[in-house]
Structure 1
Amino acid sequence: MTALRFLLLGYAFLTIFISGGLFFKKSGQAYLTLSVFILLFGLEMLDFLYSTSEVVKVFPQFYGRYYFVAGFFYGPVLCLHFTALLQERRFRAVDLFHFVPALIVIISFSNMLMLPGKARIDYVSNHFYDQIMPLNYARATHILLYGIAFIFLIAKNYRGVDAIKRLYALSICSIYFITAVLMSWLTEYADNWRQFILYYISTSSIVFIVGYVLYKEPNFLKQITGKYLSSRLSRKEMELIRDKIIFTFREDSLFLNSNLTLPLLGEAIDEKPHRISQTMSELVQESFNDFTNRFRIDYAKEMLRKKEFQHYKIEAVALESGFNNKVTFLKAFSKFTSQKPSAYRSNRMQANA
């Protein structure tokens, strides 16, 4: 067991190192949230080693203050990672509701968390069955429920993202869900906390490998996916699919359909969705959403330039251009033109005056 503890200690420090590497090497919500997730797990490994060693008797100040609360942050942080990755959505105020369970736990157990170290150890021992075990069950259930939610989230956005993101999301979700099930099983059947070391060793091995690969080679997933997908379509075939999409967009204005998906586009041009997805990721090198939104923004720009549409409000232009709402339209317009629709309209009116 001592050898495993030393191995786990090394994993913990390496995981924290990888977390810092991801944080400083790449920007954006997707990388930031993944970095935070890995950091949380690295700190939990250190907390586990501390709580199950003789060190806790000498320095009891930190006992019980991390493990119980940290478990309620994994799901929310990874959820923000997936929404940034799959939906290309930034953090919103409503996302704070994900952290309500963590806040409830902190408030509910504030009396324990504020106790001095030795008193906190005695409290955990005296209230293990009536308070600590229910909290452990709540922690495991919370993690497991988020694992189930991630499955639905990926399924909902599965056809709207390219193959690279799908492979990555499925890999991370599988790791999370398997570890969530293992954690739930251990919470129910483990005889003591030391048996959890097998959980930490197996989980940290997977997390460490994934984090290390992404840190050393950020484009690893793209390379792997490209290797296996490229054999299905030649460049000439992908060029043909791209041209069919462009022709359909220009002739039939299919991009104006706000409910357009890869399957619907596939039906329109008689191509399978995964072939379109591969074309987007390998030839066009742009997501399906971005590719479609480019056409929508060009259409919106035309409306903003014409006098007959000057009485249209920005929201009306957004809906006419194929967007579901004004917020999505504003984000896409700023992304592709580096200015707001109202500023673009004003500048064009001044130029035409």
Structure 2
Amino acid sequence: MDSLGASAFVLTFLLGGTILIGLFVIVVLFRARSLGISRWFLAALLFFLILHLDTFLLFTTEIIKQYPNLLGLSYPTLFLLGPSYFLFVKSFNTKRFTFNRVDMLHTLPFIIAFIEQFIYLMQPTAAKVNTINYYYKNIPDGNVTFIEWLSANLFIILFFIYVVVSLKLIKLKFNGNKSVLNRISWTLIVLCVFYMIFQTGFLITGVSAITTEIVLASLMAITILLLSYSVVDIKDVFSKNKTKYETSPLNKSEQILINEKLTHAVAVEKMYLKTNLKIKDLSVAIDVPSHHISQVLSEHMNISFYDFINSYRIEEAKQLFKKGTASKLSIQAIGEECGFGNKTSFYRAFKKFTNETPNSYFSKITKEL
């Protein structure tokens, strides 16, 4: 068995195992009703990725030679990858989500690809067999036009655009605090970038088509495995947020009242300035049980207790920077003034809420003043 054959053999097991894991995660998503409608979009994304992996498997195992009519059957679904992820993020943690006319426009590339592929599928079986045989024997000469390159990368380019837009939506919708969504987004961005790099390199250098399939299939399989891990993480996060307070006796008016007390104690009385402030301290101050405070923060503000407190601390620090306090006090001292117990926690929180370090932020403010 030559090295290429050995690689294809190993890849077959990798793809088969990945497909089984992906299908298992999809079943988990179907059963996770606490995820709401967003689980269907995420399941669709995984399913379309698995379909693409199936296509790679058909070629690496040469099964496609026995069933030529399967050639390109799943290709149009690649144009649903981007819309699926975007709609997943859009519906994430949303109690009521409905399609509108603008959302339907996301299916337009899929419809165009479907019509094009349908016309191709109407060709005689013999024509498809010739295409498959050409695929296995063909070694590109490296002379690739822009149209050929665009045709090979169009779906992944659209997917990349959708993921980038989704990443911005996460920042706006969740104030950048959904680390699981950020992790998934960056995983997909890395997939898109490397997919385009490899695809472009193979087209230009003239690598054989089967070698291209092996590398791209491996990349896709690793992505599905990483995505599956994140999906399980999302399920756990949603389960905690959605089912934890189902039996809570708090009604809406009581939650609004607690929200007002909470905001007054933190924003007006500035309890966030107290170092090592705990939820129990806040509970005593406003005479509300700790678990009720957690519920209000989770359901009304979609934020944890420490992120809620640290958001005020960071705003306080930013005001001190603007007043030029950093020229009189050290960065660590400013963090302590704002309620942080140590330099590390201050730097970590500041970076999380501003995407900058305290030093870089102060330098920028100093130039503006």
TM tier, shorter chain? Answer: 0.5 to 0.7
**Matched position secondary structure for 1:115:** coil
Instruction: Say whether residues 1:61 and 2:69 are aligned partners.
Output: yes
Structure 1 residue aligned with 2:123, among 115, 118, 121? 115
Taking the aligned partners of 2:199 and 2:292, their CA distance within structure 1 comes to 44
In structure 2, list runs of 5 or more residues that go unmatched: 1-6, 242-255, 273-277, 280-289, 304-369
Q: Does 1:48 align with 2:64?
A: no
Deviation at 1:49, TM superposition (A): 0.5
Note the 1:202-221 alignment, pairs <5 A: 202-213=222-233, 218-220=235-237
> What is the Cα deviation at residue 45 of structure 1?
1.3
Aligned match of 1:246: 260
CA distance in 1, matches of 2:270, 2:94: 26
Give the one of 7, 12, 15 matched to 1:5: 12
Q: TM-score, normalised by structure 2?
A: 0.57
Q: 2:196 pairs with 179, 184, 193, which one?
A: 184
Q: In structure 1, what is the Cα distance between the partners aligned to 2:193 and 2:226?
A: 15
Matches within 5 A, 1:1-353: 1=7, 2-26=9-33, 28-66=36-74, 68-85=75-92, 88=95, 90-94=97-101, 95-120=103-128, 122-123=130-131, 125=134, 133-159=149-175, 163=177, 166-190=178-202, 191=207, 192-213=212-233, 218-220=235-237, 245-247=259-261, 282-284=294-296, 286-288=298-300
* Alignment partners' CA distance in 2, 1:177 and 1:30: 20
Aligned to 1:334: none
The one-letter amino acid of 1:17's match is F
Residues 76, 114 of structure 2: 8 Å contact kept: yes
Contact 1:15–1:38 under 8 Å retained in 2: yes
CA distance in 2, matches of 1:71, 1:288: 37
C-alpha separation in 2, matches of 1:42 and 1:57: 20
Task: Summarize deviations over 1:22-51 as a string: whole Å, max 9, x none.
Answer: 113426211121112112222221221013
1:327 is aligned to none
Pair 182,281 (structure 1): closer, same or farther in 2 beyond 3 Å: farther
In structure 1, the residue matched to 2:312 is none
Q: May I ask how many residue pairs the two structures share in their alignment?
A: 249
Gaps of 5+ in 1: 225-241, 252-264, 292-353
Aligned-residue RMSD, C-alpha: 3.8
TM-score (norm: length of structure 1)? 0.59
- 8 Å CA contact 1:168–1:221 kept in 2: the answer is no
Amino acid at match of 2:115: I
Is the CA contact 2:163–2:188 (under 8 Å) kept in the aligned structure 1?
A: yes
